[in-house]
Structure 1
Amino acid sequence: MIKTHQEELEKIINNALKEDLGTCGDITTQAIFPTTKKIKGFVQSESSGILAGIEIAAKVFEMVDSSTVFKAEFKDGDKVKEGQLIAKLEGDVCGILSAERVALNFLQHLSGIATLTSKFVKKVKPYKVDIYDTRKTTPGLRLIEKYAVKVGGGCNHRMGLYDAILIKDNHIAGAGSVRRAIEFACKGCPDKKIEVETENLEQVKEALETGVDIIMLDNMDVKTIKKAVEIVDGRTILEASGGITLDNVEEVAKTGVDRISVGAITQASTPLNISIELK
């Protein structure tokens, strides 16, 4: 995903660098090191998890100072342990220190998402179900956050409002019913798959009668989800969503749904503890 969106990635990095460096740059480093000073350093994991964003971190250093050498010892998707050396750095101290925080922000944040995603994926591994992300992402960072989900073994839901149809409760309220909302969507975008959000079993039955591609079971308890699985009986894709945690995801997976979408993997992940040390 990242390799095919280089222009967008550079915009994301540029915005982060502008936010940190402003128009004056790193005034602390510039004051202490007014002339070029070559230095070495390393990136180290301070906790265990799944690495994501190592190439993005390398890109940050390159965009700040193209002479900086960033040699990764691991690749995205690798498991790292506390104390492991992730990458080696060599270059001018100003370039390295000016890029350090932005590079770490990306690396820590994305690795946190990948790590949490992998925990959800591991929980449901015995079952025929996939873990999906949602649009609950940090504004401006959706591309790379969804990339981190993939690195962690998860699947991407729609990228935005523009690339897939998902009929939600407010669409249904405006249209008057589940059936009418689906009919309108079919006429408006006949070439797109349609997913509809349902809140009860009556809506599930109504959606099923239309032949809709995916039915989302929104904030239903496990007992209701099981009944929905029985009603649908494999005739369309079922997605459970809402209130999914590491504590209950396996129980939801056991019901027989095809997909489970989890907003928490991008919205509530804890950054992986990673540091940069100079020597």
Structure 2
Amino acid sequence: MPEKDLTLPDDIQDVVERALAEDIGDGDRNAALVDETLQASARVVVRENAILSGAPWFERSFKALDERVQIEWLSNDGERIRSNTTVCEIRGPVRALLTGERTALNFLQLLSGVATSTFEFVERVKGTNTQIIDTRKTLPGLRSAQRYAVRCGGGMNHRFGLFDAILIKENHIMAAGSIETAVSRARDSAAGQFVQVEIETLEELEQALEAGCDGVLLDNLASHVLARAVNMADAHRRRFRRDIVIEASGDINLRNVREIADTGVDRISIGGLTKHLRATDFSMRMHTD
């Protein structure tokens, strides 16, 4: 497995500020009940086995409220954490801890949930050369954060958006008139960008390969058909001495992902990593000094 790329996105501060504004509005009426000079300590405990992700978002949620908040992490993003263990200890003004608690935990539980789900898929395909990758099916405004969480779980990222790679889908082919025309126009309009074609039949695969695409997305094909598609793409690779990325997608779950990986596909894209969310259970317990 390649080393995890835990490079942080550059929009963390903006995302955190929007989340805090959503929760606080024109003021935290609850925290106002507490003496503003009071200091407190807290610890965050995970209630189930998981992969940790979201520490930078968690930390900035408190720092945006009060720079005096100090956090000591006992585990790092991308690491496995065990149920009922402490992941971090916090100290600072009690008002900041109370106000930031929900927003901070929301980030931690969401991103750890994504990382944990990704890890489960990655474990199922261990021993193959297949990568588990995400899709654009993300929560609006949280794409960069969720992509980071996928990497924490050992997965890889697909294109970020509509601007950094081209995926020619059924509707694009219909509008262009053919796979060949769609690929040709993609080359003309976005020279140098990765061009991938979504196909649903072996006939379409042959057309995509002949059109000279960089990759194919095999959508909802049975495993025996996927194996034939891989053989066709491999033959094309040898014949023209050029690489073709073979990706499978559609109705993929923990029960069938290994079978699909064993067909020899290069990568498997799973929208459920970022849209079928199950948050990891964390709790924060506070005590005053």
Both proteins in one fold, TM over 0.5: yes
For residues 43 and 142 of structure 2, the distance between their equivalents in structure 1, rounded to whole angstroms, comes to: 26
1:103 corresponds in structure 2 to 104
User: Matches of residues 43-54 of structure 1 in structure 2 within 5 Å?
Assistant: 43-54=44-55
| Amino acid in the other structure paired with 1:244 | I
1:267 to 262, 269, 275: 275
For residues 193 and 7 of structure 2, the distance between their equivalents in structure 1, rounded to whole angstroms, comes to: 26
1:23 corresponds in structure 2 to 26
Matched, 1:209 2:199: no
Q: After TM superposition, what 4+ stretches of structure 1 lie above 2 angstroms from structure 2?
A: 1-6
Contact 2:6 2:152 in 1 (8 A): no
- For residues 39-79 of structure 1, what are the alpha-carbon distances to aligned partners after superposition, in whole Å with 9 as ceiling and x for unaligned? 11101111111000112211111111111111111110111
Contact 1:61 1:103 in 2 (8 A): yes
Contact 2:40 2:93 in 1 (8 A): yes
Secondary structure of 1:109 counterpart: helix
CA RMSD, Structure 1 to Structure 2 (Å): 1.3
Contact 2:54 2:107 in 1 (8 A): yes
Task: Report % sequence identity.
Answer: 39
For residues 48 and 86 of structure 1, the distance between their equivalents in structure 2, rounded to whole angstroms, comes to: 12
Matched, 1:11 2:19: no
For residues 276 and 188 of structure 1, the distance between their equivalents in structure 2, rounded to whole angstroms, comes to: 51
Structure 2: gaps spanning 5 or more residues:
238-243
Contact 2:39 2:94 in 1 (8 A): yes
Secondary structure of 2:9 counterpart: helix
Segment drifting more, 259-268 vs 231-240: 231-240
Deviation at residue 211 of structure 1 after TM alignment: 2.0
For residues 191 and 166 of structure 2, the distance between their equivalents in structure 1, rounded to whole angstroms, comes to: 10
Structure 1: gaps spanning 5 or more residues:
none
1:241 to 249, 253, 275: 249
1:72 corresponds in structure 2 to 73
Matched, 1:114 2:120: no
Matched, 1:161 2:162: yes
2:220 corresponds in structure 1 to 219
Contact 2:179 2:211 in 1 (8 A): no
Deviation at residue 232 of structure 1 after TM alignment: 1.4
For residues 221 and 254 of structure 1, the distance between their equivalents in structure 2, rounded to whole angstroms, comes to: 12
Provide closer, same or farther for how the CA distance between residues 122 and 3 of structure 1 changes in structure 2, counting only shifts above 3 A.
closer
| Amino acid in the other structure paired with 2:65 | V
2:88 corresponds in structure 1 to 87
1:171 corresponds in structure 2 to 172
Secondary structure of 1:27 counterpart: coil
Contact 1:61 1:70 in 2 (8 A): no
Instruction: Give me the TM-score of the superposition, normalised by structure 1.
Output: 0.96
| Amino acid in the other structure paired with 2:107 | F
